[in-house]
Structure 1
Amino acid sequence: MTAMHNPPHPGVLLEDYLGATSLAEAARRLGVTRVTLSRIRNGHAAITADMALRLGLLFGTSAELWLGMQASYDLWTERQKPRPEVLPLAG
């Protein structure tokens, strides 16, 4: 099995989309606090469905783009943790 590399937290891409726009201005347009947006940008908070919709509107992207990146990041992170054995249902 080939090892997968850690997908980036979507906050990393957020930095690219912001370009020259300040975090404070983006937060104002999104209707959230600068702290909220900063936590996402720094990988300390996840992108929720609500935030994905807002980011889609702000940047002209799809909400699915943001949620997909978050899901990829979350799944990779969880796969790094030990898991109890789960027995499949007989079928």
Structure 2
Amino acid sequence: MARKPTLPGEILLEEFLEPMQISQAALAKHIEVDYKVINRIVNGHSSLTPDIALRLSKVLGTTSEFWLNLQQKVDIFEAQEKLKDVRLKPLQKIASL
């Protein structure tokens, strides 16, 4: 079984906020969003949206794709986990009447 990808909020906290000594509240204020938005992302309770990805990219010198790719990896992993016991068969062409 594959390891769960690192959450975008964990990357945000460990690779950006902590080294830069910036609080979640300060980041939220700087990118003009409610503190709860950043806090929920950092704590893994909310997904990172395209809007937040764009805001982070502008202030952290990254790209929005960087953040969205992190989120997409998590989303795909979680979807695979939900479907791991579902047996889907390839779709067959329906015979004409």
TM score, norm. by length of structure 2: 0.83
Which aligned segments of 4 or more residues in structure 1 are displaced greater than 6 angstroms? Answer: none
Q: CA deviation at 1:84?
A: 5.4
Equivalenced residue count is: 88
Q: Which runs of 5+ in 1 are unaligned?
A: none
In structure 2, C-alpha distance between the alignment counterparts of 1:31 and 1:85, rounded to whole Å: 44
Q: Which runs of 5+ in 2 are unaligned?
A: none
In structure 1, C-alpha distance between the alignment counterparts of 2:61 and 2:52, rounded to whole Å: 13
In structure 1, C-alpha distance between the alignment counterparts of 2:46 and 2:66, rounded to whole Å: 17
CA RMSD in angstroms comes to: 1.4
TM score, norm. by length of structure 1: 0.88
Q: Percent identity?
A: 32
Deviation per residue, 1:16-47 (Å, 9 max, x gap)? 21121011110001111111110000011111
Larger Rg over CA atoms: 2
The within-5 A match list for 1:11-90 is: 11-16=9-14, 17-19=16-18, 20-82=21-83, 83=86, 85-88=88-91, 90=93
Correspondence for 1:8: 6
Q: Secondary structure at the match of 2:82?
A: coil
In structure 2, C-alpha distance between the alignment counterparts of 1:52 and 1:70, rounded to whole Å: 10
In structure 1, C-alpha distance between the alignment counterparts of 2:91 and 2:74, rounded to whole Å: 25
In structure 2, C-alpha distance between the alignment counterparts of 1:29 and 1:89, rounded to whole Å: 53
